Structure 1
Amino acid sequence: MTEPARELPQIAVACPMCDAAPGDLCTSHSGTRVRTSDTHQARTTAWSTSRKGGAR
């Protein structure tokens, strides 16, 4: 099974939506399936914020 989400830069931060640890894939909202092709939008936002130096 391919997991393109592992190649995304936002995988380096924890996901505030599903609590996936940095490096782990996000899970579905019910927590039963791994999201292999993308991450939650909240994780992308967290990654973007961390690159800008965090909230100020």
Structure 2
Amino acid sequence: MLPNGGATTGVTDFNGDGRTDLADFLLFVNAFGGTDARFDLDGDGTVGLSDFLIFANAFGKN
């Protein structure tokens, strides 16, 4: 479950610059396969494919 009732705005802006962009993608890729809660967008305990799909949906939108 995503915070804000499923909205990804801000949730995927890992570096806090106000956008979900390449810099955030590089941070996400580094966390992929791990358990860092900041990147576990679906809350299942691991950073995996479903988290990537959530991230990809938000990419470039905020």
TM-score, normalised relative to structure 1: 0.27
Which structure has the greater CA radius of gyration? 1
TM-score, normalised relative to structure 2: 0.26
